[in-house]
Amino acid sequence: MLAKIGVLLLAAVPLLGQRPGGLAERIRSAPLPAEQGQALAASFSEKDFTRVEAILGGAVSADMPSASAAELQALLGAIEFVGGRMNQAVQAFRRSESLKPLDDHDRFTLAMALVNLGDVKGSRAELTRLNESHPDQAIYLYWLARLDYGQRLYDEAVEKLNKVIRLDPDSVRGYDNLGLSFDMMGLTDEAQGAFAKAVVLNRKLPAPSPWPPHNLGYLLLRLQRYHEAEENLREALKYDPQFALAHYHLGRVLESEGQDDAAIVEYKSAAALDAKIAEPLYSLGRLYLRHGRAAEAESVLAEYKRRKALAVDTL
């Protein structure tokens, strides 16, 4: 559960592990000879993470000041995280911490790497440490609430998320995840209210996320309030036309409204955009059968079974 949640959440998280100026500036200021520094910058620009690892690993020497060695290892951890190499990121941060305590930016990135690896105990320990040091910063409490959600501790998640919102009344993610927690508790009215607040705040962002309107639209779909559900799902797709789940749920809405041809288009889009999800194919196959399109239904349902089997094999 948690590993899947981590992937979904991190997709919406800005680049982590950054000091002011960004990762590129941190690379430029790394304690390296000029030639190695240039090679590191070029390798990072080319996303050659194996080469980055070789440069930074080879640069650490026994006679190097511990603070410099710690910074190189922490920098490697931040770069590995950006490259999606979570195990390597954790190992690099741990090596850095053995030389010098991590700063808050790097500790947070370490926590996020642990979240992605499904290490609940480790990520909770790092986030708790950050939250205790900075109780006035909502971000650490927010991620602790997400850990609660991943472990189905919904009451605890709600308590933390309410604190997040008190600290940051404009927190889109705070309201959105409060809605998710209420939804899992069966508190439909509370969930709808939280999602609606998230949608309003989300519209004010420079780059709105598709998740708040999607989550509200999906709830309204289940409540059979199809017109409202369609409006919100289309808003989600306005922000991200490649959002497979929104296409799938919009297809369900359209089918429920008797717009079968439009629903077929949405189901096809969902299946094409995400090769890992099977449900749109089941809905598409069932719709084909209802319209007497047996050959198309057979092909689609065969692919549905293949994807379902693949999902079981990868658990």
Residues 36 and 226: their CA atoms lie apart, in Å, by: 59
What pLDDT is attached to residue 18? 55
CA angle 86, 89, 95 (to 5 degrees): 145
Residue 131 pLDDT: 97
Rounded Cα gap, residues 315 and 309, in angstroms: 10
Which homologous superfamily does the CATH classification assign to the domain defined by 216-315?
A: Tetratricopeptide repeat domain (1.25.40.10)
The per-residue pLDDT for 263 is 98
Helices 49-59 and 34-45: crossing angle in degrees, nearest 10, is 160
What is the number of alpha carbons within 13 Å of residue 240 lying toward its C-beta? 19
Q: How far is CA 295 from the centre of its chain?
A: 38
Report d(CA 223, CA 238) in Å as an integer.
Answer: 23
Q: For residue 305, how far is the Cα from the chain centroid?
A: 27
Please give the full DSSP string across 58-80, using - where no structure is assigned: HH--TTS-HHHHHHHHHHHHHHH
Query: Do 1-119 and 216-315 come out as alike in CATH topology?
Result: yes
Model pLDDT, residue 141: 97
The ranges assigned to domains in the chain are 1-119, 134-209, 216-315
Class of the CATH-defined domain 134-209: mainly alpha
Cα–Cα distance, 64 to 310 (Å, whole number)? 49
Contact (Cβ atoms closer than 8 angstroms) between residue 175 and residue 197: yes
> 62: how many CB neighbours lie within 10 A of its CB?
5
Q: Name the burial class of residue 98, with classes exposed (0-12), middle (13-18) and buried (19+) by CB atoms within 10 angstroms of its CB.
A: exposed
Per-residue pLDDT of the chain (315 residues; tens, 9 = 90+): 333 344 344 433 444 545 545 888 888 888 888 888 889 889 888 888 888 888 887 887 767 889 999 999 999 999 999 989 999 999 999 999 999 999 999 999 999 999 999 999 999 999 999 999 999 999 999 999 999 999 999 999 999 999 999 999 999 999 999 999 999 999 999 999 999 999 999 999 999 999 999 999 999 999 999 999 999 999 999 999 999 999 999 999 999 999 999 999 999 999 999 999 999 999 999 999 999 999 999 999 999 999 999 887 655
The CATH number of 1-119, from 3.30.70, 1.25.40, 1.10.3470, 2.60.120, is 1.25.40
For the chain, give the number of residues.
Answer: 315
